[in-house]
Structure 1
């Protein structure tokens, strides 16, 4: 499944190109984007919300249309329900773009795991950016209730990394 940022980049590239229609398929997920013929219109305002809900789910972004399959919808719903079940008060987010490391070395244990109690100055992970390893501190006292990124994953600025239940 494409991340929101990747989808935005694809939309921007298609918008700037001469391509009028684009389809992407991966693991049963299909995304189709079409440019309009230069007409400036707002598809969401053309029909009442009730009619839009009855049709195949469709998300309008400027001139491109992204169709979401039912499989994606159900996966996103179950993910959002799962996120709603996790009780947390604070999210530790990435302060920069870089590679996330949850342990100081590949052979070491992770800085924190689910259930770990942290304090303001507890190092929870490292984000490597431009060959610099930046230790990320919890900045809150509490318990790690969810780890939202994986070791070695590229993380974005502001991306939630950990969820914490404050004490």
Structure 2
């Protein structure tokens, strides 16, 4: 099974109401499960007069607010690029971004590198599996948007490619 096929399955499951999906063929097993963040409902007590000297309790953040806070702390700002010839290479999964096949080897690409559509530009490690990510288009790497070893989210832009 090719990475592009897995990407398509992820997109289909993500855009559907399915919570869990399993597929097995030719010794390959794919299992996808959506994580839904459930917000805790707040229960309000009957209103009672509070003493004037007591400060109001601090609001307790919901799990969704905590997750957004963590994501905003870890994810660097992506510059707004107006060039219409730039293609974003997106992460097909949650995992760890690596620029090279191993720590002692050179990066697959650098800004200014020419790439073809089927050329590997990085690796995203997910659950001890190293998934090669291809450029998807012919062009030149304009910018690398993430750092080596950084955790990336599904759909997060990794590269900007100036298409021919």
Give the corresponding residue for 1:21: 59
Structure with the larger helix share: 1
* Aligned positions of 1:27-106 closer than 5 A: 82-84=79-81, 88-106=85-103
Indicate the SS of the match to 1:144.
Answer: strand
The count of corresponding residues between Structure 1 and Structure 2 is 103
Instruction: Render the CA deviation track for 1:58-111: whole Å, top value 9, x for unaligned.
Output: xxxxxx8xxxxxxxxxxx9xx67x533666421000001111101111111110
Match of 1:146 among 136, 143, 148: 143
Indicate the SS of the match to 1:21.
Answer: coil
| Maintained 8 Å contact 1:87/1:145 | no
1: distance between equivalents of 2:155 and 2:106? Answer: 25
Indicate the SS of the match to 2:108.
Answer: coil
Give the corresponding residue for 1:160: 157
Structure 2: unaligned runs, 5 residues or longer: 1-36, 43-56, 66-75
Q: CA deviation at 1:115?
A: 0.5
Q: With structure 1 as the length reference, what TM-score do the two structures score?
A: 0.53
Instruction: Give the structure with higher Rg (CA).
Output: 2
Residues 1:88 and 1:163: Cα distance change in structure 2 (over 3 Å): farther
Structure 1: unaligned runs, 5 residues or longer: 1-11, 23-32, 35-63, 65-75
RMSD: 3.0
Q: With structure 2 as the length reference, what TM-score do the two structures score?
A: 0.54
